[in-house]
Amino acid sequence: MKSVLFRSAWIVWIGCLAASGAAAQETLTLRQAISGALKQNPESEAAKAEVSEAQANLATARTALLPQASFTEDISRGDDPVYAFGTRLRQRRFTQTDFALNALNAPDPIGNFSTRISGGWQLFDTLRTERQIRGANLMEKSAASRAGAVDQKIVFGVVAAYQQALYAEREVATAQHEVETAEALLKSADDHVKAGLAVESDRMSAQVNLAACKQGLIAAEGDRELAWAGLREAMGAPDLKETSLAPIEPRDLAAGDLEQEVATALKNRKDLNALGQADQAQNAAVSAAKLSYGPHVNAYGNWENDAASIGGANGSNWVAGVQIGIDLLPLSKRSQLAHEKAAKTRVDALLESYRQHVRVEVNQAHIQRETARLSMKTARAATEQATEGLRIVKNRYEAGLATITDLLRAEDAERQSQTSYWHAVYGNTMAYAQLLFATGTLTPEAAEDLQ
């Protein structure tokens, strides 16, 4: 009876270890881990930078619709006949004597301070600019969708690392209990040997069992260190200290309809949406390349002030006009159109391939989810049977009706059943998280529901 009470107390203790193991430490919840990762993970920062880059490209594309203006200050001096003649005219300093042949053929050097303000405005380009802006806008949306996909990937990585750390903590606690049980078994075997109820080989078997349990504890502690290293990497927090974790309790999570899950994935997957938006942007690029064959109309204007010296005599002039042009030999535009069409064909193929990939991912996640659920149910029943079997063998051993070999086998079976059960619990949670990830619905709020 004493051993049964001890076993029951251990099961209760192991079930709430993660929540109560370190009362003085602050508990790190799954939501806190996810929030920290989304703020600190370098992949998230890179995705945000890509969105900013796409926004800047969109702003650049829109500037083509705006008028352009520039200011120029030019200082020059020379005796080139054409330059000297024109400069005097622009400075309004031309006189009758400047028509002399010597003055025209060999003028004296003349300086000029020219202030010029010029501008232009594209009035019409067969809607090519509008298509380019549409493409840039779609690429901005595509970058935002990719950033959302990166965030979901980070969330899934944190869930996996967090659950792995919980499982490692559980394994350490199990190994510690096995060491304590092995020590108690060794003491019992020693008492039996002294009482003449067992032989020396029984005590040696108990000693070997204790050594194996200690080795198992060392391995479990190493796995815990690795699990925490994985959690630090997933969170982007290399200096994160080990603390208590809030447990993810074993439970049956609702199963859904496969066709509905596939439809949800095709609608909500951020990476698929990003590729679809890139495909639309490429379609706009093809349209822009076709429209580049059309005519373009530009307005321009120029105002200029010329002076022989700063503050000296000066003259000003202006000119404005409208320019209409069309490319009569558009060889480069033909090559550009061929390039855009080839790119469109490539993106179309990638999009269809990725749609098929998403369907397969959801199908696999759905099957793994159901398998994990059934495995957890089976492992739970096996654990209960192994625990009851160990209780019976212990009672028989205490009564001298079973050998220590029988007891060690029962201990090993119970230990393996515990390991299998918690591995199934871990697999069940991860299979459900994988299904949420595959359907594009793994948000921080959805992940929090796991806990």
Q: pLDDT tens digits for 328-373?
A: 999 999 999 999 999 999 999 999 999 999 999 999 999 999 999 8
Side-chain half-sphere CA neighbours of 356 within 13 A: 5
pLDDT the model gives residue 12: 41
pLDDT score recorded for residue 25: 56
**Alpha-helical regions (H) of 120-199:** 128-194
- pLDDT greater than 80 at residue 3: no
**Of the candidates 3, 395, 31, 53, the residue with the CA atom closest to the CA atom of residue 248:** 31
CA distance 116 to 392: 103
How many CB atoms are located within 10 Å of the residue 252 CB? 10
Give the pLDDT mean for 206-219. Answer: 90
> pLDDT tens across 234-268, in order?
998 998 988 889 887 777 776 788 999 999 999 99
The whole-chain average pLDDT of the chain stands at: 88
Q: Please report which confidence band the pLDDT of residue 317 belongs to, taking 50, 70 and 90 as the band edges.
A: very high
Tokens of 18: 């993660």
Other beta carbons within 10 angstroms of residue 186's beta carbon come to 19
% pLDDT > 90, the chain: 58
Check the CA dihedral 364-366-369-374 and report its sign: negative
**Distance between CA atoms of 144 and 47, rounded to whole angstroms?**
8
Q: List the domain boundaries for the chain.
A: 2-40+127-293+330-448
**What is the spatial distance between Cα 190 and Cα 63, in angstroms, rounded to a whole number?**
89
Tokens of 149: 């996909």
Q: Which helix (H) or strand (E) holds 69?
A: strand 68-78
Per-residue pLDDT, averaged over 32-54, amounts to 93
Residue 181: pLDDT above 60? yes
Please state the CATH superfamily assignment of the domain spanning residues 2-40+127-293+330-448 in this structure. Answer: Outer membrane efflux proteins (OEP) (1.20.1600.10)
Token code pair at residue 289: 């390349």
Looking at the chain, the whole-number percentage of residues with pLDDT higher than 70 is 94
Q: Is 88 left (phi over 0), alpha (psi -120 to 50) or beta?
A: alpha
DSSP for 352-389, please give it. Answer: HHHHHHHHHHHHHHHHHHHHHHHHHHHHHHHHHHHHHH
Hey, what are 281's tokens? 């942007």
pTM tops 0.85, yes or no:
no
